[in-house]
Amino acid sequence: MAVKSNKQAPVAARPAVVVLSPLDLALARRVAAAVGGAVEGLATRVAGADATFDNTGEHLRRCFAGGRPIVAVMAAGALIRLLARAIVDKHAEPPVIAVSADGASVVPLLGGHHGANDLARRIAEALGGHAAVTTAGDIRFGVALDAPPPGWRLANPQDARPAMAALNAGARARLDGEAGWLAASRLPFDAAGEVVLRTTDRVAGGGQCQLVYQPVTLVLGLGCERGADAAEAIALAEQVLAEGAWSPLSLACVASIDLKADEAAVHAVADHFGVPARFFTAAELEAQAPRLANPSAVVFAETGCHGVAEGAALAASGGELVVDKRKSRRVTAALARSNWPITDPPGRSRGQLFIVGIGPGGAAWRSPEATAMIAAATDIVGYSLYLDLVADIAGGKHRHDYGLGHEEERVRHAMELGGQGRSVALVCSGDAGIYAMATLAFELTDRGDLSPAARRIAIAVAPGISALQAAAARAGAPLGHDFCAISLSDLLTPWPDIERRVRAAARGDFVIAFYNPVSKRRRSQLAWARDELLRQRPADTPVVLAANLGRDGEQVRIVRLADLRVDDVDMLTVVLVGSSQSRLVTTGDGRQWVYTPRGYAAKSAPRVAHSGDVDARDDI
C-alpha cells in the first residue's frame, strides 16, 4: 500500500484553470499560481495538467453547476457558447473569466460581483495584462456596492441598484461608521451626501438611499447537554442576539467544544443563521479561563475547561464578551465581539465523510450528487484506479492512493482525516453500499474502533450505478424479475455459507449476479456454482459476462450456462446468470438481448377481478 498527496493545499472552491492547447499550458500555470487554481487540460491535447477532461463543454458546465470559478485560456465567445445553456441565475453564478492566449486581455464574463472582477485584476497583475472589467460601479468608483468584501454583509441588497444609479447620476455619498474598503474607494463622499452608507453590527433598517453594511464581528458560543432540543437552542440564541439588538448578519460562526462536534442542536443553530460551526479542544477553551464572566468548577469537572459557551465565543472571536452566559433548561449561550471583521473563523470544522459510488467509472454514468460531493471534498481516498477515474473533477485535491486490498486501512484513514476537520470523499466503484466501503465505515463506527474525533464526523453516502445494473442495461433486461447478488470471494465469507446461498438462489430460481467470480488464486468457485445451477435450470440459460463497463475495453458477451468457462472471466467481470424463465431475443439489427419476463403477458389476458387485487406498477 502506498499513500501519496498532491503538493498544493486544497481549497473548497478552487478555480478551474481550463486549457485546450499545449502551447497555452505555461500561461495556464502562471494563472493558476496567481489565483490558487488547478490546471485542467483537454486529455487528447494537453499533457502534464493537474487534471484532464474528455469533453470541454461538459467539463465547463460541470464546474459551473458546482459553483467553481472558471478561468479559461480561450476565446470569450467560445466560452460563452459552451456555457450558454447552463446560465440561468445571475445571483448564483460563479466567476467565469476568459484569458487571451497572449495573456494581454483578462475578461470577466460572469459573476463580476461574485469575485470575477477581483480575480481578473489579480490575473492581469500577474500576467502584466489588462483586466477588461465592464461593471459600471467598479469602473467609476472602484467598488461594487452590492458585493462587499469578505467579512462584510449588505443587509438590504435590494436597495443597492437604486443607490448605485443615484450615485452614477451625480448624487453624493455619506459614510456613517467605519469601513476601510468604502473609505478607500472613489465614491464622491460628502458630509451632506444623499446616499448614506451605514456600517453597524446592530439591527438597522435601510432604504433606497441608505445601504446598511454589517461587519462580521460576532461569535455565538454554545454549550448544551447531549441530545438537547434544537428548538430550545435556537430560541436561546435568538434571545442572546436580541439583548443588544445584535444583527444575525454580523454573526461569523457558532462555536463550541469539540466534544459537541456531532451535537445536532449546535449544528441546528449554525444552519438557522447560515453560518459555519467551529469547535475547540478543552485546552484551547481553558486558555480563555481568566476572561470568563462565569467560570464553573462543575463544567471543568465534566469537560476539562471552566466554560464552554463563553470560552468558545472568546476563542473564536479574539475579542470581548458582549453578552455573558445565558442559560435555558439544557443549553447555554454567550456572545463575543471582535474588533475587526472575521473572514475565516478559527477553530475546527466538523469533519465530513462523503462515501461516493461513481458507478462503473465513466463521467456519463456518474451522478450529479457524486460529482458534487467529490468537488466539495478537500481530500479523496480510494483505490488508485478509482481515483484516476475521477481525475476530471478532483484536480488540486489531496489524493490518498491505496492498492487493492487494505480496505479497512483505507476507510479508517478517510475517517481519521475527517476527524481532523477535513471534507473527505471515499471513492468506490459501482454503488458505495454494494460490496463496497460504506458498510465498513459504519462497521468501524459501530465498533467504536476510531479516535473520538473520527467518531464525530458527519457521513453522507452517494449511490452509484452498480455493476449488476450496468451489465443488465448493456445486455437488455435480465433483471426484469426477482434477482439476487452473491459474491464468490471467500476472503470475508466462509465458503460453506456461499455454497448455501447459491443453492438457495438456485432453488428459488432467482436471476443471480455473481460478484468477484474469480481471482488468480480462486479458480474453482465459479465452476462449482455453474454446475450447481445446471442441476436446477436449463443448459441454454443465458449468462451475461460484462467487463470494464463504461470504460475503455468494455466487453459484453452472452453465453449458455453449459458453456460458461472460468477462463473467460476475470475479477473485472460481473456474471449475470438468468433464471429458468430468462430468454434471448434478436432485434431487427441482428443483435441479441437477454430479458427475464415478469408475467405481463399473463396479466393482460382477460380474467375475473377479485377483491383486494392491486395493479402492479413498474417500480413495485
Q: Taking the chain (620 residues) in consecutive chunks of 10 residues, what is each chunk's mean pLDDT? A: 32 77 93 89 88 89 88 93 84 88 92 80 92 71 84 93 88 94 92 94 90 97 96 98 96 97 96 96 97 95 96 97 97 97 95 94 82 90 90 82 89 96 94 94 92 94 94 95 95 94 96 92 91 95 92 89 93 92 94 91 57 42
- pLDDT recorded at residue 5: 32
Apex CA 128: angle with CA 124 and CA 132, to 5°?
40
Residues across the chain: 620
Q: Are residues 43 and 97 in the same domain?
A: yes
Q: Are residues 483 and 452 in the same domain?
A: no
**Assigned domain for 147 exists:** no
- pLDDT recorded at residue 139: 65
- pLDDT recorded at residue 164: 87
Q: DSSP for 323-340, please give it.
A: EEEEE-SSEEEEEEE-SS
Sequence-distant (≥ 6) Cβ neighbours of residue 323 within 8 angstroms:
240, 243, 244, 246, 334, 335
Number of structural domains in the chain = 5
| CATH (domain of 266) | 3.30.420.180
**Assigned domain for 287 exists:** yes
- pLDDT recorded at residue 224: 96
How many Å separate Cα 9 from the centre of its chain?
17
- pLDDT recorded at residue 113: 66
Q: Are residues 268 and 322 in the same domain?
A: yes
Residue 478 near residue 576, CB atoms below 8 Å: yes
**Assigned domain for 575 exists:** yes
Kindly give the pairing relationship between strand 152-154 and strand 210-215. Answer: antiparallel
Q: Are residues 485 and 595 in the same domain?
A: yes
- pLDDT recorded at residue 403: 87
Q: Are residues 60 and 119 in the same domain?
A: yes
* The last residue of a domain, from among 450, 465, 480: 465
How far apart are alpha carbons 129 and 102 in whole angstroms?
Answer: 9
How far apart are alpha carbons 155 and 385 in whole angstroms?
Answer: 48
Q: Are residues 31 and 116 in the same domain?
A: yes
| 509 class by beta-carbon count within 10 Å (0-12 exposed, 13-18 middle, 19+ buried) | middle
| CATH (domain of 432) | 3.40.1010.10
Q: Are residues 249 and 363 in the same domain?
A: no
| CATH (domain of 37) | 3.40.50.11220
Task: State the alpha helices, DSSP H only, in 421-508.
Answer: 437-447, 467-475, 495-508
pTM, 2 dp: 0.77
- pLDDT recorded at residue 314: 98
Question: What is the end-to-end Cα distance of the chain in Å, rounded?
Answer: 44
**Assigned domain for 7 exists:** no
* The last residue of a domain, from among 286, 313, 337: 337
Q: Are residues 428 and 476 in the same domain?
A: no
Q: Are residues 356 and 303 in the same domain?
A: no
Q: Are residues 318 and 398 in the same domain?
A: no
Residue 222 near residue 341, CB atoms below 8 Å: no
**Assigned domain for 1 exists:** no
**Assigned domain for 569 exists:** yes
* The last residue of a domain, from among 337, 361, 387: 337
3-state secondary structure 145-202: CCCCCCCEEECCHHHHHHHHHHHHCCCCEEEECCCHHHHCCCCCECCCCCEEEEECCE
The dihedral through the CA atoms of 80, 85, 90, 93 has a sign that is negative
Q: Classify 364 as helix, strand or coil.
A: helix
| CATH (domain of 509) | 3.30.950.10
Q: Which domain holds residue 551?
A: 468-602
DSSP 244: T
**Host H or E run for residue 230:** helix 230-243
Q: Which of 37, 61, 64 is nearest to 51 (CA)?
A: 37
Q: Are residues 156 and 61 in the same domain?
A: no
Q: Classify 594 as helix, strand or coil.
A: strand
- pLDDT recorded at residue 605: 57
The identity of residue 9, as a single letter, is A
How far apart are alpha carbons 546 and 529 in whole angstroms?
Answer: 18
**Assigned domain for 127 exists:** yes
**Assigned domain for 617 exists:** no
How far apart are alpha carbons 208 and 206 in whole angstroms?
Answer: 7
- pLDDT recorded at residue 366: 86
| 263 class by beta-carbon count within 10 Å (0-12 exposed, 13-18 middle, 19+ buried) | buried
Radius of gyration for the alpha carbons in the chain, expressed in angstroms and rounded: 30
CA distances from 202 to 213, 291, 438 (A): 10, 24, 46
Q: Are residues 490 and 553 in the same domain?
A: yes
Q: Which residue has the cell 481525475?
A: 391
